[in-house]
Chains A and B, each alone.
Chain A
Amino acid sequence: SQQGEEDPQALSIQEGENATMNCSYKTSINNLQWYRQNSGRGLVHLILIRSNEREKHSGRLRVTLDTSKKSSSLLITASRAADTASYFCATVMNTGFQKLVFGTGTRLLVSP
């Protein structure tokens, strides 16, 4: 079963605007990761945030983590048409077997 749920399921914006995607999860985690998937391709790792971190930046990406609310957000600033893709959050739980459990994804469309 999937641990994470992304919101919204689909997002359509214009170039230059910011895009915010949210992820909620159910159980205590060790870390949370965001991945991007272009159509017909594999996933590409974007950023990892550990459970003791609250915010992390990488270029135009900003990720926040609120463990009390069991949620994370991914912000892409000054979006470009090339950012069009599906974005997935994935969690690693604190107990049990260590594997990445993926959410359902947000499909982002950035129009020129």
Chain B
Amino acid sequence: GAGVSQSPSNKVTEKGKDVELRCDPISGHTALYWYRQRLGQGLEFLIYFQGNSAPDKSGLPSDRFSAERTGESVSTLTIQRTQQEDSAVYLCASSLSSDRVTSPLHFGNGTRLTVT
């Protein structure tokens, strides 16, 4: 079956512009996660959804970042007034349940964002 799908795969934008990143999780997965990965670095947690509610937004780097999710499906991560330090790969993952995260996370291939 289909895995986690992210679009676009690559995005180049000018500093100050807004961008919207999309994630289509695996059907039936209630939990959805966004992570950011800077070049050569580990993963930085951004936000987590259980269904369409976001119990923890503490990882969002600034108020320029926001995310929403429609039901238990598509999620969008929006970055307003992009800055060069926002350049990174944004990874989305979904899992069957969030119960102490004992279900493996399934990752998309990410969106590579470059802010010029």
Contacts and interface: CB of A to CB of B under 8 A. Distances in A.
Nearest to A1: B44
A105 B107 contact: no
Q: State which size class the interface on B falls in.
A: 20 to 34
A33 B100 CA distance: 12
A33 B102 CA distance: 9
B105 A92 contact: no
Interface in B73-116: 91, 93, 98-102, 104-110
Contact of B43 (A31, A98, A102): A102
Interface string A86-104: 0010101000011111111
A81 interface: no
A44 interface: yes
Contacts of B56: 97, 99
B42 A42 contact: no
Nearest to A103: B42
Contact of B104 (A30, A41, A45): A45
B70 interface: no
A2 B35 CA distance: 12
A105 B42 contact: yes
Nearest to B50: A98
B65 interface: no
A40 interface: yes
A31 B106 contact: no
Given A31-B102, A42-B110, A45-B106, A97 B42 contact: no
Interface in A44-82: 44-45, 48, 50
Interface of B: 4, 33, 35, 41-45, 48, 55-56, 58, 91, 93, 98-102, 104-110
Interface of A: 2, 30-31, 33, 35, 40-45, 48, 50, 88, 90, 92, 97-105
